[in-house]
Structures are given as structure tokens and as C-alpha cells.
Structure 1
Amino acid sequence: ATTDPYYVAKEEVQTAIKKVNEMHDEWKQLLNTENTAKSTRFQHLHGEISGELRQLDYDLQDITATISMVEDNRAKFQITDSEIASRKKFVSDTRNKVMVLTESV
């Protein structure tokens, strides 16, 4: 039996969100305690967070595309309406988290 790739992608996205949140916490601490213009750690974190957020956006676009593919080929994929709704909610919730983080950096 093949594993549904959605769950692999979801886990990767959840791991990335956790990582970005941890980096963002450090970023905020540096923002409040250091001269950010001179802090190479702050600048590095800023760039790393931005890159991670871009990648998360791409990952969410990919997940959204696969959800649409499943919806368009219901006979081929044995996935319930509630599962599709759950997947859409995950994407929506995660997009909101990414947006909040993006706006703060």
C-alpha cells in the first residue's frame, strides 16, 4: 500500500512551521536586545526566516494543488469530503500562521 503523500507534506510543513517559530522567537529577542544593524546573527536569522517562509508558501501551494486534483478526480481517490475539508483547513490555518510571521519580519 502506498502512503498518502499529503501526510508526508503535512508533517514537513508542520516541522518547518515549528522551526520558523523557534527562529522567530530568537529573532524577536535579538530585535529587542541588540543593535540589529550590527548583529550578524540577527541578519542571518532574518534571511533564513524569509527563505523558510517562502518555501512554506510553495509547499502550501503544492498541497493546495493536490487537494484540487483529488477534488477533480473523485473516482480515482478514495478520500471523504470531511478529509478534504480537513486538508483545506490545515492549509488555511497554516497560511494564516505564515502570513502573521511574514508580516512581523
Structure 2
Amino acid sequence: MAQKDPYYIVKDEVADTLRGVQDKHSRWQNLTRGSPEKRALATELAEDCSSLEYMVAEIDKSIDAAERNPQRFNLGQAELSDRRRWVMSTRRQLSSISSGLSAGASGGGGGGLDGPAGRLAAAVHDENDRFIRSEGDRQQLLMQRQDEDLDHLSHHVVRIGELGKEMGQELHLQGQLLDELDTEIEGTSTRLQAAQKKIDYVLQKAGAKGQLAIIGFLILTLIILIFLLLG
């Protein structure tokens, strides 16, 4: 992304130009006060700083656009914060150079408070104030959104806790019903075993003839029941 994003191209150009401006500013500081060369260099520095401030302002606008539509530009919050810090740092350096021009240059040659350097310093100061205010508003909006998200999350956590309690109560009730069912099954099994033992005892006592008699009686009873149902 760093090779394709125009931001990095402009950033490198601004950084190179700023280094040249800083070198000029160092030479300007070493020149004799009021000399023609110093006044000319001050005018050149003021124009360079004005050009750089314009480029930085354009980058700042692109950052605002990317922050409003992060899906389109595919930039994360960390990347946007890094770009904001670079813009602020560059503006501080430009403001320092402009303030030095305003304080150290003579009234002529555009170096006074009413010259290009003075106007640039005022513009940089106003732009910094605007950025600080917008950054404060943005941070406040982010905190407000975070508070709202935390409120929603807290509501969901409470609801999940209530559902967990209801599920626990339901599972406890189901466990009681299963215990009762096991008890009834054990009782029925015991009664069936007792009945089976009684039947075995009766069959043993009756012998073979008695068993045939019982079978015949049961068949006769079945036939009578069938006739009753059909009738």
C-alpha cells in the first residue's frame, strides 16, 4: 500500500521540501540582520512554507475523507492516527520556521508580522486550532459511541444471564421428572417380576393337565370376547 497510495508520494515530497526549507532557515539565521540577502531568503522561505502548508492541508482533507468512508479507502484507525500525527508534526515544524521569520526578520522584505511569514504563521496557528478542535470533537464522538456500545453490550449480558438462569431452572425440573420416571419404571419392573413369579408358581402347581385347562379356558374366554365385540 505504501508504494501505491498517493499519500506516501506527497508525504515524501513534503519531507524533502521541508528539509530544504530547514536548511535555508539555518542559513537565514546566520545572515546579517537587515541584509538584502536575508530579506530575499526570508521571502523565499515564506513562499516555500506557504506551499508546504497548502500541501499538508490537502493531505489533511484526504485524511478527513478517508475517515468518513473507511470502507472505500481501506484504511484502519491506526493508519489514520499515524497520518494525523504526521500532519500535526509537520505543521509544528512549519509554524516554528514561520515564527522565527516573523520574530527575526526586519520590517521590510516581507519578514514582519504583516508580511507573508506573519500571515503564514497566523494561518498555521488557526489551522492548528481548527485541527485540535476537530480532533477533540472526534474523540468525544468516539467516546460517546463506545459508551453506547458498552450499554448495548451490558444489556445483552444481562439478558444472557437471565436466559441462563431460566435454562438452569428448566434443566433442574427436567432432572426431577426423569428421576420420578426412573422410580416409576423401577416400581413397574418390580411388580412385573412379582407377577411373573406368581404365574410360574401357578403353572408349576397345575402341572401339564392344569396348564392345558388354563390354555383352553383362556381360548374360550377370547372367543366369547370376540363374539361380544362382533355382536
* TM-score normalised according to structure 2 size: 0.42
Residue 50 (1) aligns with residue 51 (2): no
Counterpart mapping for 1:62-81 below 5 A: 62-81=58-77
Q: RMSD across aligned C-alpha pairs, in angstroms? A: 1.5
Question: Quick check: which has more Rg, 1 or 2?
Answer: 2
- Residue matched to 2:81: 85
SS in 2 for 1:76: helix
Separation (CA, whole Å) in 1 of partners of 2:41 and 2:58 = 25
Separation (CA, whole Å) in 2 of partners of 1:91 and 1:49 = 19
Separation (CA, whole Å) in 1 of partners of 2:64 and 2:13 = 20
- Maintained 8 Å contact 2:53/2:94: yes
Counterpart mapping for 1:15-30 below 5 A: 15-30=16-31
- Residue matched to 1:12: 13
Identity %: 26
Separation (CA, whole Å) in 2 of partners of 1:52 and 1:24 = 11
Separation (CA, whole Å) in 2 of partners of 1:46 and 1:77 = 39
Separation (CA, whole Å) in 2 of partners of 1:7 and 1:65 = 15
Separation (CA, whole Å) in 2 of partners of 1:74 and 1:85 = 13
Separation (CA, whole Å) in 1 of partners of 2:25 and 2:70 = 40
Alpha-carbon offset, residue 19 of structure 1: 0.6
Separation (CA, whole Å) in 1 of partners of 2:55 and 2:62 = 11
* TM-score normalised according to structure 1 size: 0.89
Separation (CA, whole Å) in 2 of partners of 1:74 and 1:84 = 10
SS in 2 for 1:3: coil
Separation (CA, whole Å) in 1 of partners of 2:74 and 2:45 = 37
Structure 2: 5+ residue stretches without partners: 102-231
Residue 99 (1) aligns with residue 95 (2): yes
Q: CA offsets, 1:52-86, max 9 Å, x none? A: 11111101110000001111111111111111000
SS in 1 for 2:74: coil
Q: CA offsets, 1:30-54, max 9 Å, x none? A: 0xxx2x43x3321221111000111
Structure 1 consecutive aligned stretches of length 4 or more whose deviation exceeds 2 Å: none
- Maintained 8 Å contact 2:63/2:83: yes
Task: Flag the structure with higher helix content.
Answer: 2
Alpha-carbon offset, residue 11 of structure 1: 0.6
Alpha-carbon offset, residue 96 of structure 1: 0.5
